[in-house]
Structure formats: C-alpha cells, structure tokens
Amino acid sequence: MSESDTAVNHIFPFCLPFLPLCRLSCGTLHKTACEPYPCGYPDFLNDELMYNLTMPQAYAMLEAPDKSVLVKVGPEALLADVQAGRHTWVVDEPVEVGGQDCGPTPYDLLLSALGACTAITLRLYATQKKWPLEGIEVRLRHQRVHEQDCEKCEQPSHMLEEVQKELRLLGPLTEEQRQRLEAISQKCPVQKTLMSSLRITTTLAPADTDFM
C-alpha cells in the first residue's frame, strides 16, 4: 500500500460525515478523502485536529440528515414554539413589530447558530493543538431590520446581505496562533452552509398530517 493510500485510509473515516456538507458547498459529492475540495475544506480536513476527532465529535459538528426541527405558531400571536429532539424553546418578535418579545428573534437564532458553531470549532481546534485559548467570544451583527424584511420579503434582491462576525480570543496566544484561529473560524460548518449555494425546498403537507 502506498503512502498516499495509507493517508486516505487514515482520514477517510472522519471525512465521511463531512462529504454531504462539501456537496452543499461546492456541488460535488467526493468519493474519497483525497479528491480536491473546491469549497475550501482541504486545509481544514487535513489539519491535525481532523485526524484525531472521534466519530461522535465529527457527527456532533453536523446535524444528522434525518433530524428535523418542528415549529408551531398559533392563530394570533407571533410567538413560535420550537422543538428539536428533546429540546424546546420559543422564538418571538419585538413588541414594535407586533410580537411580545418573549424570546429571541429568528435572526437572533441565525446569528447564534453561526456564533456557536464558530466558537465550538475554535475550541476543538485549540484543544487539539494544546494552545492556551482560555475562552472565545463571538459578537455578530446583521445589518437589516425587521420591517424592511417584511416589506420586501418577496423580492430576491433583498435577501440577507451581510453578517459581521467579531472574535475575541482570550489567553496568552501568539500572533501567529491568533491569525490561524481567525482563519479556522471561517471554516466552521454553519458558515460553510450559509455561504454555499444552499437550496431550500418547500412542500405543502395535507391538512390532516400530524407532524408529532
């Protein structure tokens, strides 16, 4: 067996759960771990962190393909009840746009998903590298407001335009380590998904369908 074959066999078990995500990012379903990754995954997948992650850790960074989230909104209030597995929470809108402000907004959750994925990815990377990263804080901003979104929601040119992500890395890191962590932060799975040519399909279920 050649040296390259050995390397592929070593990394392939980890790469497997990331192949569907790579397909989202670059439109290619890679058959092996050694195929080129136009979506930008090569240095991330080939890093020492990726060689040592366990399969549970790998799958934890991506949602299982058959996992679903259920959202319910009643006949009047904008309050949404959300269920994902055994976890439940509420989503709402601010009072000034007709909500009750009982929970985070949909855009809050979008930014939270990106920020959490970024911080978790950096934590895994720094721990594997044994770098003195004592904490990660991610501050995110979305530049648009709710009323504008509502008024122009059917116009394709007025979709999400920009998210600003600011990192605060705590601990006695070198400048080289800080720069590397900043680069790794842009490769977290959620950011890859948001920046890919993501396709969203909608189907209308029969009225008597029970989602529970």
Place of tokens 């993501």: 198
Q: Quick one: average pLDDT of 141-163? A: 64
**Tokens at 127, concatenated:** 């721990």
**Domain ranges, ordered by start, for the chain:** 1-67, 68-104, 105-212
16-25, 56-65, 107-116 — which one is most confidently predicted on average? 107-116
Average pLDDT over residues 97-122: 96
Q: Reply yes or no on whether the pLDDT at 137 is more than 70.
A: yes
The whole-number pLDDT of residue 66 equals 63
Mean pLDDT of 106-127: 97
Give the Å distances, CA to CA, from 119 to 11, 79, 166, 176, 191: 24, 28, 11, 18, 12
Phi, psi of 132 (to 5 degrees): -80, 55
How many angstroms separate the CA atoms of 80 and 26, rounded? 33
Condensed to tens digits (0 to 9), the pLDDT of residues 159-178 reads 557 899 999 999 999 999 99
pLDDT band at 65 (very low <50, low <70, confident <90, very high): low
Q: pLDDT tens digit string along 79-103?
A: 999 999 999 999 999 999 999 999 9
Q: d(Cα 188, Cα 123) in Å, to the nearest integer?
A: 11
Write the CATH number of the domain with boundaries 105-212.
3.30.300.20
Containing H/E element for 87? strand 87-91
Q: Could you give the percent of the chain with pLDDT greater than 70?
A: 60
